[in-house]
Every structure is written in C-alpha cells, then in structure tokens.
Structure 1
Amino acid sequence: MTSLTASSPDLVVRVSGLVKRYKQHLAVKGLDFTVNRGEIYGLIGPDGAGKSSVMKALAGVLQYEGGSAEVFGTVVDSEQAAENVKRRIGFLPQGLGLNLYPELSVEENIDFFAKLRLVPEAELRERKGRLLAITRLDRFRGRLMKQLSGGMKQKLGLICTLIHEPELAILDEPTTGVDPVSRRDFWAILAEWQSAKGMTAIVSTAYMDEAARFHRLSFLSHGRMLASGTPAEVTALVPGLVVTFESTPQLEAVARLKRRYAQVESLGPSVHLFTPERDAHAAVAEIRAVLGDLPVGHLHTDEPELEDVVVALLLKEQDGQAGASEASVRPTRAGDRQQRDGLAVQARELVRDFDSFRAVDRVSFDVQQGEIFGLLGANGAGKTTIIKMLTGIVPPTGGEGRVAGADMRTAGGAIKERIGYMSQAFSLYLDLTVVENIRLFAGIYGLARRQAQQRMEWIVEMAGLSGYVHDRTGRLPMGVRQRLALGCALVHSPRVLFLDEPTSGVDPIGRRRFWELLSRLAREEGVAILITTHYLSEAEHCDRLALMYAGRIVAEGTPADLKTQVEQEVGQLLEIAVDRPGAALTHMMAAGFSGAALFGTKIHVLSRDPSRDEAHLREVLARVGHSVEAVRLRTLSLEDVFVSRVMALERAAQKEKHT
C-alpha cells in the first residue's frame, strides 16, 4: 500500500499510466486522467473500450499490471489499500441488479446495505425515505427484487450504493438497458446528491447522448483515451456545422454526398451531414453544388453534437480506413421491389394476459413494406410480448394480427419463413467463421446450395464483410459481428425484419453503418423493419414510432409529429447556463419552476412562455446573487417526448387510484 501526500485536497481520483491485460489482450493502454471533488466525471465508449476495467481498478476489485489508480491519496494496489478507502466509496457494478439480493424486498435490500455500511438507524429512515421518493420506488417497498423491472432494479442498486452517503460513487454503466424514464430518474438522483451532498461520481456509459450531462469526460477507444475535457472542450476539437435537410431520392442524395463528406446519414426522411465548414452560407452552397439537380428542402444548420465530434475523431484514428469496409446494399430489380409493396404487419386489438396481469392491452398498429417502425417503451411496457405474438411464439389472449400476409394465429411455420429476427445477443455461433455462420443459417431455412451461395455473396457485399469471411466470429469487432448477425437474419430474403435492441454496446461509427444498412434495406429492398431500442437518439431514424406504456400505445406518429405534439402540450425546452447550477436549481424550484432539472453544468426546464419565464428566472437568480451566462431554446429530444408522456400517464394513474 502506497500513500501519496502530495495530492491536492480537491483531487479525488488520479489515474496514471494505467495498464490492464487479460492474457494476450491489452484492455487498458497507459490511461491518464484526474477527477476533482464534486465532479460528475464520465468515461464514455463502446463495449471493449476498457471502461469497466478502469472502474473496477478504482473500486479495488481488480488488479492491474502497470501504472497506478489513486483514490483519496491512496494508490489502490492491494486488498489492504482497497480496505482503507472502501468506507468512502460506493461501487455499482455493471449489470442490472448484480449487487442486489433477489429474494429480499426493496426495503430489505436497502436495510441490509445500510447495516453493512453501519448507517445509524435515525439517519437511515431519512435517507431511505428521500431516495425512495426521488426514485418513485416508495410504492414498491415490499416487492421482491427479482420481481422488479430492469429500470427499477438499477434504481434500487443505486439507492443501496448511496445509502451510506459515499464521498465517491463509482457507477459502471448504470443506465445500460434501462428505460428512458428510469434513466432520467437516475440522473436526477445523481445531480441532487452531487448538489446537496457534494458527492463526486465517476460514471461509465456507452450512450453518447449522456455525454453532455458530465462536468468533464474522457472518450475511450480500444483502451486508449481519444478525447478528454469538458463537453464544450471536446466539441471544440473538431469545428464544423451539422446540416439537416430533405432531398429526394434520399439514397441518391446520400450516395452523392458521401463522395465529398465523411459523415452523412439518413434520419427518417432527412439527411444529417457534418461539414468542417464553419460558415453556414458557404456550407449550404457547397452541399447544393454536390447534390446538383436533386432538390433541397426543410434545411437548417446547427452546432455539432458530441457524437458528431467523436465520430470524426474515430475516423481520424482509423486513418481513413473506415471507408474500406463501408457496407452497401446492392440495388434490386424493380420487379423485386414491386412484390414487396403493401401492408407488412397488421395488429388489431392485440391482448395478452399472464394470469391476472395484462401485459398487452388492445394494441393496434400497421407497418408498411419498406417502412422502419420503432416500438418504444419502458421496461415491462409490453414490446417484447407484442413481438412474440406477431412471430407466433406466444398466442394472443385476444385480437388478431397478420405478418407478411400470414395470420399469426394459424400460420405456424409460414410466418417464420417470411420474417427475420435479430436479438440483442445476436444469436451467432462464435466458434464458427463468418462463412460457416451464413451457411448454417441458410441450411436452417432450407436454402438449396446454389441459392445459399447467391445469398452468401449478397450478404458479404451488403454488410461489408469481404475482409472477414474466414475469421472466427468470436474474434470480430462488435460492429462487424452485428452486421453479420443482420446478414444471417436476412439469408432467406424475409419480407419483415424484427430487431430487438440491435446496437447495444456498439461504437458510434458501427451504429451509423448499421442504420445505413437498415435504411437501404427498407428503401431498396422494401423490407419492413420493426425495431425496439433504448437509444432514443436512434429512434430519429424511424419513419414512424409508437410509444408504449403499461401495455398500451399512448402516442404514435413520426418523430417530428411527436415532438410537435409535446411542445404544444407542455412547452419548449429552455437551457440555462448559470454559475453554481446546483444551488441555482434549488432557487428556481422554490420560485415555481418545478420541472427544472440539472443537465450536466446546465439547467433544463420546459416553458409555455419562454420570454416571460426567461425574464422571471433571471430576476429570481439575480436576487440571490447568481450570474446567468446564457438562456437559449433547445429542440426537444425524443427522450424529452417519451419522459413527458410517461410521467403524465403515471400522474394520471396515481390520481385515479386515489379518487
């Protein structure tokens, strides 16, 4: 055990030259960063970036081979060193509820961790009540942990991690696989604890849209630090503009633009493009010149998001090799496309009961061939049950549905022949090569040898697998493995494709390539795609969305329509940059801004009258000595839409219950 007395009193964590190796694999390659007291620090990156290794080393549960991990002035390099700092930290490991006890209730789990951490009984009552209230778990005190949804498990895990009020919380991917409402709850807890208790936190995540919530962050790629600093400092590393517009035909527009720009993607009916040009007029003029005779409409420019910057840095890191394996879908003959027009999925008043519990309650929707349809909902909302009914796995209690022209009640194997399914786990055989996996799936679906060979050639070309055909699947990068799984799901030319959380843990470039594939499959092949995802930023790619709550569809429409509806109902989003944001938030809420919330170093609040509310909040904050640096309108995200809808429904349900 080594003690370092030269550390600044405000320095909580110092990682210096950290190296972690698993046999021949170098997971962390000389990492350096520091975390100051009171910061919420983010480690961002896809699966395999090295985040969990760093978190475990800091928590004292993983040995490392080089460098040092220092916490509160102590280098954590032995069991004894870990014991010396353990009482001052809280560690939430990766995985839903892995630090909890399934046979204990919500309250019993909290009490157990409180006793383990020697929390006095009087303090326990106050802390427990406060944490249960902010997580909205107070109604579920007696429910067994094993009966909770994924989001509820993660919130309970966070309560148990914070119950002894640690000075440092080490939270390893706490929001992965968690529904958007629970994600918002998690960030509310963290912001309040940081503001009220002065807690420091290190949080790892694969969600790029969470990056703006951190005071400072490091983006990791293959065990190395790609970028580090405040969100504004990281964004400034790659200056440029994001231009969003509509052009038809969309795929032709994207193809032309890709010859000139490194970052071009389809977002529903729009094209999203990053340009290094800083002048908006010059940027738009150049885009129009590249598009030539193609029309441009609904155009607007904006500052780049962190994901745009990180993708640019990743492309630079790959030294221009990213385009070598770009996936492209071969154009289909007009006759093929014509056969794929029409209604692909039809659900009418679907009901599914499990004993006395109604999982799906009279759900109806349609999906056209060539359409990307997103099914969004909190954990337990009924999404997976709907997919199981439509694919013939689970019989409905009531209602009816047709998939690719087949009745889901009576079709049996006919439905399975007409659909493709890609699960979150990918369902590949990791010991087989790319070619062997494709041949195996072709055999499962009964393809003749010649047809199987043709489909294999199509999959390799479509998914950009030409450089990997003889590689073992288990050794493939996550993004490549994901594209192979998509190809295997398409080997039998299905008319409908079901995708369950398909991009979990994939880096931003891999996710963008995957969505390019989906867009081309829908537009060129006419494949109908039904997708569930927890990346609400990805839902922007969908042509239409259905939001589910408690087994029912509560909103449906295009992403733009859903945002407009919520804006009309609850107002526009104001972002406030102010000194001492935690204290400022307290004053704002006392002045009537009840929906205000910390968002990293900013405060977000919904407003029906932005001009009036800006003047009021400036007056309130000036009166108590706060300096407001800026107030600006931000576009509502789909997460804002989802959370607003679900929270309103929860309030209505509670009101109805008490009347």
Structure 2
Amino acid sequence: MAQETPPMSHPAVVIRGLRKRYGRIEALGGLDLEIPKGEIFGLIGPDGAGKSSLLKIIAGVLSHDEGQVIVLSQPLASEEDAEAIKGRLGFMPQGLGLHLYPELTVEENLRFFAELRLVPEKEYYRRRERLLAITRLAPYPDRKVKDLSGGMKQKLGLACTLIHQPELIILDEPTTGVDPLSRQELWAIVAELVAERELTAVISTSYLDEASRFHQLALLSGGRIIARGTPEDLAPEGLESWFFRLAEKHHPVAYLPPVLKGEGEPPSGPVIEARELVKDFGRFRAVDRVSFSVAAGEVFGLLGPNGAGKTTVVRMLCGLLRPSRGEGRVAGVDMRAPGRHIRQRIGYMSQSFSLYRDLTARENLWLYAGIYGVRNEKEVMEALVDLCQLKGFEERRTADLPLGVRQRLALACAIVHRPQVVFLDEPTSGVDPPGRKRFWEIIYLLAQELKITVLVTTHYMTEAEYCDRLCLMHEGRIIAEGTPKALKEAVLKRAGRPISLLVSNPLSVLRELRGMGLQATLYGARIRVLAPEEKINALKAFSPRGLLPEEITMEDVFVYHILREEGHGMEKNQGLGS
C-alpha cells in the first residue's frame, strides 16, 4: 500500500496584490508576499517604506483598499474576519510600551491582557511564571509601568502579547530605543519560543545588524518588496548599500555656511564639567557620584542600559533638574544658575518634546529663533535649512515629516542660537541608517568647524564608534570610560576575541557555551562568542564548519561590562533558563 503524502502546511500569511492608500499617498502598492509558518520573518526598509502599514493589515487592525490578505488560513476582508482571528494573533505596536497601561503594575498589565484574551485562571498563573522568568521581570510584579526602563517596558509588552499563546506574533520595531543587552534578551525570548512552539514571528526593525537574526526577510521600498530571501542570500548585495540606494537623494554636508560661524576663540579648558553629581528621587538614587569633563569640540558619548541615569545627568547639566549633591559647569556657567544664563549657551534636543508638531518646519525655526533672540534670523534660518538638508520640507507640518527629517529639524532648532554646547538625548532613535548617517555628518561639522561641544546619549553602538570618548553607565554610576578603541582593546584582553560558529542546533549550543562562562549571542543559525585563547580549541567541537574570526564591536563592550556589573551568567540574563 502506497504511503500517504503528508498534507503541505499552509503559509502563516498570504498576500496578493495588496494596496493601501492614505489620501493621495500610496503606502503599499500591489504587494505580494508569503510568510512560512514556524519562522522569524523580517521586514526592513527606509522610513516610510510601508512596514508599519503592512504589519497593521496583517494584524487586522488596519483595513486595506485592494488585494487579498489571508492570515492563518483566514481571509481578512472585513472587521468580522479580523475579529474571528484575533485570538490566534499577538500584535505589539511601535513605541516603548505604548500598548501598556502606565498606571498599572507589571502584574496588573499581565492579568488585564490575560482576562481580555479569556485565559483560564490556572493557565494564567502557569504562563505568568514562565513569562516573568524569561523576561527577567519576576522581581518587579508590583512596579508600575511608568517606572520601568524602556527595555523592561518592551519585555513586558512582549509578555502581554504572548500571554494567550498566539500562533502568530507581529512586532513593529520592538527593539527601537532599547539598549543592546535588552535587545539581545528580546531576541533570545523570540528565538526560544519559535523553536519550542513553532510560533511564527513577523518583525520589523531599523537595526541592520538584526537582519542576521531572521530566517527570511523582505526589503521594502516605496510600498513594494524589492528583495526577499535569507540573510545569507541578501548579504552579498550588502543590506546597508540597499538602504542608501533607496533613501532620499542625499548630498553629503560639505561646508558650514559662514553666517553660522561665531566670533572669538573656543575656550581652552573643559567646556562641560561634572563633579560627583548625585540625584535622588525619594529613596531611589538615579545618579551616583558621576564625574567627567569634556573639551571644546569633543563629541562625548554617554552609554548605558535603559534606566542607567543618562537622561538624568543630561537634565542636571542643562539646568532642568537640580542635583541632590555635586557640582557642574557648562560653557563657564554653574549649572545651578538661573535657567536663562545657562540656556543661552546650550542647545538641548530631548528624547520626547522638542518640536511643535502642528507647526510647519519653518514655523518651528521661526519660533526658536524668536525665543533665543537671534539676530539676522532670516539669514541664519536659510543657512540651517541648507546645513540640515531641510529644503523641500519647510512648509510641511512637522507631524507629517519623515522621522529622519524631523530629527534634523529638531537639531536645527537646538542650534539656531549657535550655542557652545549641544546635548542630544537619543537623537536618532528609530531613524533609518541613511538618516542616522546624515545626522552624524552634521554633528561632525559642528564639532570640527565650530568647536561646538557635543554630549550625546545613544543606543546605537555604531554611533558610539563615532564619539571621541565614552562613559558607560549602569545603575547611576560610571563603570567604564575611554576612547572606543581603548574600551574595545580592554575587553579583548579580559574576555577574548569574538568568533562566529555556524551550528545546526543553535539553542542547545548556546546554553552549553554560556555554561562554560562565555559571552555568547544568537544570530539565527550563527552564534557569536567572546573566547579567550585557551578555550578556542574547545569551540571547534561545536562548529564542524569551522570558526569564523570577527572584529570586536562596541556592542561586545557594552554587553561585557553590563553582564559583569550585574554578576549574572548569560543563560539567566538572556532568558534561556529551564
């Protein structure tokens, strides 16, 4: 008797001829796509490529104008169709914890989503324990969401998305604004659940280095898929070169308009000085005896996990927050002096508010020029439009600008009065790689030509490489400082060199390597490990295809120091315990 052929598994998602318009703007144009079950599928592309619209349509929270959408074998043609399938889906929108309730605790949020999804009580407790363990949120069930760090919010958001054990999870840029260690933890959680339960995950990202974590990925531009395949298929093309070819036409910043150049020589001593800064919020110490100095024209970076105290340090130095103890001087002014004395000499670009979204780009520039009493403001503004590459966007409402353009406008407003010091608090979070490159070209020009001192906080470790010097913070304290080169050399000496292993059973190998006390990270079927020379030979048994030497990165440095400070093994730290 002939053996029956097993039925072929239907794809998790099938899309044919999908179109979505917002007025005259076509966000998705005739898009075709199939996403297999049991894989981590990635969507990458420049700002405005249509990633978020596509994910919302797959999740059933946004209607489409034309075409066919089938999710888990259910056609989505109406609100009733979307309602019928929502119990089998989990959707996490873009933004740090935006779908969570800030006044509720970790436990209360989890219980709310469980009740919303009709999870039985006994099953809720079992899943709750598992999810709190793998997200490392078990010690914080009574902490309100508003008091969580960005990384903790994202991990709680993922736990709430998974509480009803969906077959398909849809995550829109879940790691944007999240520190490197929390990013690794989020990816480890997803990889483990996909392997355990044949869960399907569809994820968009603005981090090109995360592309290697997908089983397959699609590259979007202008609402169309222009390339698709495995990371290995697309790697020879160079994902970063794809991004730069697809981004808006770009001319590198070549000169500084004369009207922006100030008069006189820059100061010879430190322009920013922090001495034993302390900030307490009740019984909680956010900043603990932080000291550093920054010279004129230096680009100085503050790195650290979400909640490390970076923004608090910046706000104290800007005169927006009084220190509990310690001293600081910025551009020759005591940071505790009345606000107008210090604010005239600094520019500040905050994480949240810096622009009036209902005003046009030009109106925002006029407003800031007026606030600072800028002379010859028309000439200065035109120069800033050129410098920050805002031509063609002047009359557009700020809320409607692409994120990269909006951030360059915020920078223009922060430097309209030609300050001596500029503070930038995560200025490129969520911006695509070409947008970040343009932003940093401007920063370099300001530092080199005007000797403007720049203090920047960032979660992009590639941007950390651009800084002249760095301080790494953890729980309010500085735990490492130096040039990027010196920091990397110190980690090479202490932890060993980075090596990649190509393995067929990555999760089990990852556990074994961490059991050996090695810093190991999963990237799809590849594992990256920091290994001292005496352990190199032992690694060969795990990778029959050989060991691939890698260059050390600032992400290696970041993760090494934070794990060392926390005193946790990598297995516990990345949610891969039993």
Structure 1 and Structure 2 fold alike (TM over 0.5): yes
Cα offsets for 1:588-627 (capped at 9, x unmatched) = 567x466433212211222112xx54543443x4xxxxx7
Contact 1:438 1:488 (C-alpha < 8 Å) held by counterparts: yes
Which stretch of the first structure deviates more once superposed, 170-179 or 336-345? 336-345
Give yes or no for contact 2:540–2:547 (8 Å, CA) kept in 1: no
Partner in structure 1 of residue 349 of structure 2: 422
1:529 aligns with 2:461: no
Q: TM-score, normalised by structure 1?
A: 0.79
User: Which segment is superposed worse, 374-383 or 516-525?
Assistant: 374-383
Which residue is 2:565 aligned to?
649
> Quick one: which amino acid aligns to residue 217 of structure 1?
L
Instruction: Report what 1:287 is aligned to.
Output: none
Kindly indicate whether the alpha-carbon contact (under 8 Å) linking 2:501 and 2:546 is maintained by their aligned counterparts in 1: yes
Equivalent residue number for residue 314 of structure 1: 246
Q: Deviations over 1:528-580 (max 9, x none)?
A: 00111122221111111111111111111111211222222222222111224
The worse-fitting range, judged by mean Cα deviation, of 362-371 and 83-92 is 83-92
Alpha-carbon displacement from aligned partner over 1:167-224 (angstroms, at most 9, x marks no partner)? 2211122112222222121111111112222221111122222222112112223323
Which residue of the other structure, out of 531, 544, 560, is the alignment partner of 1:628? 544
Q: Is 1:327–1:517's contact at 8 Å kept on the other side of the alignment?
A: no
Tell me which residue corresponds to 1:77. 77
Q: Could you tell me which residue of structure 2 aligns to residue 366 of structure 1? A: 293
Report the CA distance shift for 1:69/1:636 in structure 2 as closer, same or farther (over 3 A).
farther
- Mapped partners of 1:326, 1:595: distance in 2: 39
CA contact (8 A) 2:266 2:296 kept: no
Aligned to 1:54: 54
**Equivalent residue for 1:596, pick from 508, 517, 520:** 520
> Which residue identity lines up with residue 311 of structure 1 in the other structure?
F
Corresponding residue of 1:248: none
- Identity rate, percent: 52
2:497 match: 572
Contact 2:41 2:201 in 1 (8 A): yes
Task: Name 2:431's counterpart in structure 1.
Answer: 506
Q: 1:608 aligns with which of 532, 541, 544?
A: 532
1:498–1:529: 8 Å Cα contact kept in structure 2? yes
1:277 is matched with none
Change (3 A) 1:481 1:94: closer
Q: Among residues 292, 295, 302, which one is paired with 1:375 in the alignment?
A: 302
Three-state SS of the structure 2 residue aligned to 1:87 is helix
Match in the other structure for 1:274 = none
Query: What aligned pairs does 1:369-448 form with structure 2 within 5 A after superposition?
Result: 369-425=296-352, 427-448=354-375
Residue of structure 1 equivalent to 2:416: 491
Contact 1:337 1:524 survives alignment (8 Å): no
Query: Which one of the candidate residues 321, 337, 345 is aligned to 2:272?
Result: 345
SS at match of 1:64: coil
* SS of residue paired to 1:21: strand
> Relative to 1, partners in 2 of residues 1:83 and 1:529: Cα closer, same or farther, differing over 3 Å?
same
Shift of the alpha carbon at 1:341? 4.3
Q: How does 1:516-555 map to 2 (within 5 A)?
A: 516-555=441-480
Segments of 5+ residues of structure 2 without an aligned counterpart are 1-6, 570-578
Q: Which residue of 1 aligns with 2:207?
A: 207
- Contact kept, 8 Å, 1:376 with 1:548, in 2: the verdict is yes
Task: Give the direction of change, closer, same or farther, for the CA distance of 1:160–1:334 in structure 2 (3 Å limit).
Answer: closer
Answer whether contact 2:260 2:383 (CA < 8 A) is retained.
no
Q: Comparing 202-211 with 426-435, which one deviates more in the overlay? A: 426-435
Opposite residue 243 of structure 2, the aligned amino acid is V
What is the CA–CA distance in structure 2 between the aligned matches of 1:502 and 1:428, rounded to whole Å?
A: 13
1:561 pairs with one of 476, 486, 489 = 486
Query: 2:253·2:442 contact (CA, 8 Å) conserved in 1?
Result: no
CA distance in 2, matches of 1:62, 1:26: 14
Which residue of structure 1 aligns with residue 575 of structure 2?
none
Give the CA deviation at 1:365: 0.6
Q: Which has the higher contact order (CA 8 A, sep 6+)?
A: 2
Instruction: Confirm or deny: 8 A CA contact 2:113 2:163 kept in the other structure.
Output: yes
Within 5 Å, which residues of 2 pair with 1:4-403?
8-9=8-9, 11-119=11-119, 123-238=123-238, 306-307=239-240, 309-314=241-246, 321-323=249-251, 326=253, 328-330=255-257, 336=263, 338-403=265-330
Task: Give a deviation string over 1:120-143, Cα, whole Å, max 9, x none.
Answer: 555544433332222211111232
Contact 1:336–1:525 at 8 Å: present in 2 too? no
| Number of residue equivalences | 564
2:424 aligns to what SS in structure 1? strand
Cα deviations across residues 385-415 of structure 1 (Å, max 9, x unaligned)? 1111111111111111110011112253111
Structure 2 CA distance for aligned equivalents of residues 52 and 193 of structure 1 = 23
Shift in alpha-carbon separation, 1:226–1:539, aligned structure 2, 3 A: farther
Q: Which moved more, 1:141-150 or 1:540-549?
A: 141-150
Measured on the aligned residues, the alpha-carbon RMSD in Å equals: 2.8
The one-letter amino acid paired with 2:503 is V
SS at 2:389's partner residue? coil
**What is the identity, as a one-letter code, of the residue corresponding to 2:520?**
A
The answer to whether the 8 Å contact 1:352/1:361 transfers is: yes
**CA distance in 1 between partners of 2:282 and 2:545 (Å):** 56
> Offset at 1:47?
4.0
**Aligned partners of 2:261, 2:398: CA distance in 1, in Å?**
34
The structure-2 alpha-carbon separation of the partners of 1:91 and 1:447, relative to structure 1 and needing over 3 Å to count, comes to closer
Q: Deviations over 1:137-174 (max 9, x none)?
A: 11112323333222212111111222333222111221
SS of 1:399's partner is: strand
Residues 208, 124 of structure 1: alpha-carbon distance in 2 compared, 3 angstrom cutoff: same
User: Using the alignment, how far apart are the partners of 1:519 and 1:334 within structure 2?
Assistant: 15
Q: Tell me if the contact between 1:180 and 1:639 (Cα under 8 Å) persists in the aligned partners.
A: yes
Residues 103 and 145 in structure 1, CA contact (< 8 A), matched pair in contact too: yes
- What is the CA-CA distance between 1:364 and the residue it aligns to? 0.3
After TM superposition, give the deviation of residue 105 of structure 1 in Å: 2.9
Amino acid at match of 1:641: V
Deviation readout 1:82-133 (Å, 9 max, x if unpaired): 2443333222222222333444432343344344445455554443333222
Gaps of 5+ in 1: 1-6, 239-305, 622-626, 654-659
Q: Distance in 1 between matches of 2:99 and 2:408?
A: 33
Against the structure 1 CA distance between its residues 129 and 595, is the aligned structure 2 distance closer, same or farther, given a 3 Å change threshold? farther
Any conservation in 2 of the 1:332–1:524 contact (CA below 8 Å)? no
Separation in 2, partners of 1:572, 1:402: 40
Q: Is the 8 A contact 2:274 2:292 kept in 1?
A: yes
Which residue identity does 1:646 align to in structure 2?
I
Residue 399 of structure 1 aligns with an amino acid whose one-letter code is G
SS of match in other structure, 1:11: coil
Alignment partner of 1:456 out of 373, 378, 381: 381
CA distance in 2, matches of 1:567, 1:138: 33
State whether residues 501 and 531 of structure 1, in contact with CA within 8 Å, keep that contact through their aligned partners in structure 2: yes
Closer/same/farther in 2, CA of residues 433 and 10 from structure 1, 3 Å limit: closer
1:593–1:605 Cα contact (<8 Å) kept: no
The CA distance in 2 between the partners of 1:487 and 1:535, in whole Å, is 21
Who is 2:574 aligned against?
none
